[in-house]
Amino acid sequence: MAKKQFQAESKRLLDMMIHSIYTQKEIFLRELISNASDAIDKMYYRALSDDTLVFNKEDYFIKITADKANRTLTITDTGIGMTPEELENNLGVIAKSGSLAFKNENELKDGHNIIGQFGVGFYSAFMVADVVTVTSRAFGSDEAFKWESEGADGYTIEPAAKDSVGTKIVLKIKENTEDDQYDEYLDEYRLRSIVKKYSDFIRYPIKMDMTSRQPKEGSDNEFEETVEEQTLNSMVPIWRKNKSELTDEDYENFYNEKRYGFDKPLSHIHIKADGAVVYNAILFIPENTPFDYYTKEYEKGLELYSNGVLIMNKCGDLLPDYFSFVKGMVDSEDLSLNISREMLQHDRQLKLIAKNIQSKIKSQLVSLLKDEREKYERFYSSFGRQLKFGVYNDYGMNKEVLQDLLLFHSSKEKKLVTLDEYVSRMPEDQKYIYYAAGESIERIEKLPQIEVVSDKGYEILYLTDDIDEFALKVIMTYKEKEFKSVSSGDLGIEADTDKEQSESEESANKELFDSMQGFLAGKVTKVKASKRLKTHPVCLSTEGELTIEMEKILKAMPS
């Protein structure tokens, strides 16, 4: 039988397909399973419009069979099948998607369950196979046909035998080479894990015969093999279920199954967005800081699914840096993917989803802060630093989002307080939000400078984290109140008469101050009288914007 040539463009595409579009070989299985699932969906849609046809869900499944001896991997489905014309058109022309045409012809607005649209996924089979044989019998026909190809040099189509409607794809798996391993695609356990990873939520059962070896009864060194058919996928994704059906434990199990973390999550968010952009998401706020969290190695991101099929393990674009601790997944039907699915277009939908997610995380944190303070403080001790960096980075662009999530130690009741709590109880005559920076609360409490402020009955924020003061500088004002370091020159407390008084004290003691300044040359720029001291004889203060603590940090930074 004469071999037909792929169209010229197809040849080039096929080559590209095998060598560069996909980054991982294992995804061939995802593509073939997605096609099989699409083919079953088409049966389902057919049944919807055809009264003579009943769709029994039990009759529809996908079966994977690995044959190590013959090096074949077979994927069989009970879907709609292909006529010889369809074999020719859909498999003979790369980048032609029968599924896209089906969606268009049937005007399936809710035909969105069908995954295929680019017409290239099928060819990923050639990444792992030397020969691909597709035997198919179309619905409504009693004849079957076989399409076979060894890759770029063409394909044949000829009549074949097949008992039932559907498609059977046999891959002759490549031999191992020095650089590449292919044996793994014949290993049942490896195959099962690939299915779990990418296709767990395909809505039809994906079955495989799993072989296990047990010692023969009454014998230590003889084994017997048993074969058991297993369904590999869990089919209904938890994120498509109703929140009311799910318990905290279900979410915790999902968190652990997915290895988002090994601890228990502190809180979860289940989003079912149905507005401008349609998506489902389950997000987690972890309790503990991952060991590499505050390092360059940490990679933020959410798992991204398109219609139940995993597209990306860590989609970083979905999370702003300041919420990089969030774990979880997003599934959307609305994503316009490009042909490889690996490379997402940075499109409008994705941006919309990201924006939406950001505000959901924010409101979850706000409600934790409001209603479950103790939990929030646990969260804050793990990730508060990241929020403060978030305020500081990007020149304060995100301060509106973040400033109400910040907590600082306070001189009042030695508790963590929010800026809002601070401002709401400020006495009327208090002009500024006061803060004092230092290595620890104990140290700050010994600072001479805090006495004047606390004697006035004003609350002081104790900044113990390097980043604290930088974050406040970026916020600049909160509810129209400026921040003021207790060690800054003008505290806004002394009355004008005090100023005159200290000036007169200064001229009276000019000689003493001059000689002190002489002793401390190079260490201080000026010695002057202070109204700020109560029980301490002297204190250090700064002029200008930077406090002593900030200067220390800036000096310690690598330049």
Residues annotated as binding site for ATP? 31, 35, 77, 82, 90, 96-98, 117-122, 167, 341
User: Is the Cβ of residue 99 or residue 454 nearer to ligand ADP in the bound state?
Assistant: 99
Judged by CB under 6 A, which stretch of 31-39, 321-329, 415-423, 477-485 contacts ligand ADP? 31-39
Helix residue spans in 298-372 (DSSP H): 348-371
Q: Which residue is nearest to Mg ion (CB)?
A: 121
Judged by CB under 6 A, which stretch of 79-87, 203-211, 479-487, 528-536 contacts ligand ADP? 79-87
The entry of ligand ADP, Mg ion, none that residue 542 binds, CB within 5 to 8 Å by partner kind: none
The entry of Mg ion, ligand ADP, none that residue 210 binds, CB within 5 to 8 Å by partner kind: none
Judged by CB under 5 A, which stretch of 120-128, 271-279, 320-328, 372-380 contacts Mg ion? 120-128
Given phi > 0 = left and psi -120 to 50 = alpha, else beta, which region is 177?
beta
**Using the rule CB under 6 A, is 84 a contact of ligand ADP?**
no
Which residues are documented as binding site?
31, 35, 77, 82, 90, 96-98, 117-122, 167, 341
**Using the rule CB under 6 A, is 530 a contact of ligand ADP?**
no
Judged by CB under 6 A, which stretch of 78-86, 202-210, 300-308, 355-363 contacts ligand ADP? 78-86
Q: How many CB atoms lie within 10 A of CB 70?
A: 12
Q: Under 8 Å CB-to-CB from 409, ≥6 apart: which residues? A: 415, 416, 417, 441, 461, 462, 463, 464
The counts of H helices and E strands in the chain are 17, 19
Judged by CB under 6 A, which stretch of 72-80, 220-228, 296-304, 327-335 contacts ligand ADP? 72-80
The entry of ligand ADP, Mg ion, none that residue 384 binds, CB within 5 to 8 Å by partner kind: none
CB of 326 to Mg ion, least distance (A): 31
Q: Beta 206-215 vs 62-67: how paired, if at all?
A: parallel
Burial class from Cβ neighbours inside 10 Å (0-12, 13-18, 19+) for residue 194 reads buried
Site string for ligand ADP, 159-188 (x = CB under 6 A): --------x---------------------
The entry of Mg ion, ligand ADP, none that residue 77 binds, CB within 5 to 8 Å by partner kind: ligand ADP
**Using the rule CB under 6 A, is 122 a contact of ligand ADP?**
yes
CA distance 60 to 44: 10
Which of 31, 148, 303, 469 touches ligand ADP (CB under 6 A)?
Answer: 31
CB 255 within 8 A of CB 261: yes
Which of 84, 121, 237, 384 touches ligand ADP (CB under 6 A)?
Answer: 121
User: C-alpha distances in angstroms, 18 versus 11, 13, 28, 178?
Assistant: 11, 9, 10, 18
**Using the rule CB under 6 A, is 43 a contact of ligand ADP?**
no
Q: What does the H/E/C string look like for 31-82?
A: HHHHHHHHHHHHHHHHHHHCCCCCCCHHHCCEEEEEECCCCEEEEEECCCCC
- The secondary element (H helix, E strand) that includes residue 298 is none
User: Is the Cβ of residue 100 or residue 539 nearer to ligand ADP in the bound state?
Assistant: 100
Which of 10, 97, 233, 358 touches ligand ADP (CB under 6 A)?
Answer: 97
Which positions from 88 through 117 interact with Mg ion, judged by CB under 5 A?
116
Is 537 strand, coil or helix?
A: coil
CA distance 321 to 360: 15
User: Is the Cβ of residue 125 or residue 365 nearer to Mg ion in the bound state?
Assistant: 125
User: Is the Cβ of residue 151 or residue 448 nearer to Mg ion in the bound state?
Assistant: 151
**Using the rule CB under 6 A, is 98 a contact of ligand ADP?**
yes
User: C-alpha distances in angstroms, 11 versus 155, 172, 447, 502, 554?
Assistant: 12, 20, 77, 89, 60
End-to-end CA distance of the chain: 73
CB of 43 to ligand ADP, least distance (A): 10
Which of 84, 119, 237, 320 touches ligand ADP (CB under 6 A)?
Answer: 119
Which of 26, 41, 77, 468 touches ligand ADP (CB under 6 A)?
Answer: 77
Q: How many CB atoms lie within 10 A of CB 522?
A: 5
Is 205 strand, coil or helix?
A: coil
User: Is the Cβ of residue 121 or residue 237 nearer to ligand ADP in the bound state?
Assistant: 121
Site string for Mg ion, 21-50 (x = CB under 5 A): --------------x---------------
The entry of ligand ADP, Mg ion, none that residue 98 binds, CB within 5 to 8 Å by partner kind: ligand ADP
User: Is the Cβ of residue 116 or residue 286 nearer to Mg ion in the bound state?
Assistant: 116
Write down the residue that tokens 């019998």 correspond to: 137
The entry of ligand ADP, Mg ion, none that residue 448 binds, CB within 5 to 8 Å by partner kind: none
Write down the residue that tokens 């406090």 correspond to: 547
| Rg of the Cα atoms in the chain | 34
Burial class from Cβ neighbours inside 10 Å (0-12, 13-18, 19+) for residue 249 reads exposed
**Using the rule CB under 6 A, is 79 a contact of ligand ADP?**
yes
Footprint on this chain of ligand ADP (rule: CB under 6 A): 31, 35-36, 39, 77, 79-80, 82, 90-91, 97-100, 116-122, 167
